Amino acid sequence: MAAPRSFSAAEVRARCAEGACLVRCRRRLYDLSGFVRLHPGGEQLLRRRAGTDVSAALDGPPHRHSANARRWLEQYYVGEMEPGEEQIQPETVDEQGVDAAAQTPARMDPRCKTVDVEKDLVDWQKPLLWQVGYLGEKYDEWVHQPVDRPIRLFHSDFLESLSKTAWYVVIVVWVPVVLYLSWVSYTSLAQGNTRLFSSFTTEYSIPVHKYFFPFIFLMGMFLWSLLEYLIHRFVFHMKPPASNYYLITLHFLLHGQHHKSPFDSSRLVFPPVPASLVIGFFYGVLQLLLPEVLGLSVFVGGLCGYVIYDMMHYYLHYGSPKKGTYLYGLKAYHVKHHFEHQKSGFGISTRFWDRPFRTLIPEETFEKED
């Protein structure tokens, strides 16, 4: 293996002045330029630490980074600081603990374990879907050690293309459907023929006026938020039996791939072809439970909730919300779910259902605002 490249303090300062974001842990140097916009604490938090030793910040307080976060950091390793120059800091930075950390010999943090594509449990040069089922009892730990690299699922280019979706495809495909079905629902209710409980009794059935449509629509969105939580927790986060190749493969196809590569931009929203099958199933269920027009009205509200959920999910990974806003907190919450609390924090578009189901990520685990 080639010896790591050495960097002088002057070179690091020059690259940071050009816009790069290089940080170090003791003498190990990392280039986070491609990650700053994705950082759950915000881009500026990393920018302020460019050129400094972040060892103390990783250990906290206020926020102690998880083993997955440290492992993630190792993917951006670029070399070592030259001996004797690792203590040089920009004048504007006052980091406690930097001097002590700088005296430690250059070595990898023992809590880190990089992904070696040559020695990993799977062959990254081949599609992963048909390999993960053989991991058995090692699958759960492996899939929750995130990496910053794209994933290929299928040998077939056609099937692979169907498994990837750009974020705007959700808008192009589903927003026209929401608008059309909303118009159909409203005009159908305007005819005045829709009544609740009419299948049981005509004497005590309740008419549903067209002006009820917005409330029924919002009820559909509310029901979707519950369904979103339940699917994420009990389907996407099921723990497949170690001996069942097919359930492990199914889990990886549904959600495991996203936890393995959480910033793969082509796998952050649900592809429209399989989404159509799932959406069609829930439409059929609502048509069985509710009068036709009423079921359609609830359905279109739920479909709108799904579109918002998909867009929100993409934004929580790639957006840059303003510090102190609701979306800023939600982004930190969701990324915390990926890197540290995989068994809690299942709410994506809202944290509401994490409270009654007692899966809320504790507030004290988040980094305090500067």
For the annotated binding site for Zn(2+), the residues are 232, 237, 255, 258-259, 313, 317, 334, 337-338
What is 203-266 written as a DSSP string? SS-EE--GGGHHHHHHHHHHHHHHHHHHIIIIIIT----TT-HHHHHHHIIIIIHHHHSTT-GG
> And the tokens for 252?
């990886």
**C-alpha 287, offset from chain centre:** 32
For the annotated binding site, the residues are 39, 65, 232, 237, 255, 258-259, 313, 317, 334, 337-338
For the annotated binding site for heme, the residues are 39, 65
Beta-strand pair 22-25/195-196: unpaired
Query: Cα–Cα distance between 122 and 145 in angstroms, integer?
Result: 13
Torsion angle, alpha carbons of 192, 196, 197, 198, to 10 = 10
Query: Cα–Cα distance between 238 and 257 in angstroms, integer?
Result: 14
Reduce the secondary structure of 42-92 to three states and give it as a string. CHHHHHCCCCCECHHHHHCCCCCCCHHHHHHHHHHEEEEECCCCCCCCCCC
The amino acid at 46 = L
User: Do the beta carbons of residue 178 and residue 303 sit within 8 Å?
Assistant: yes
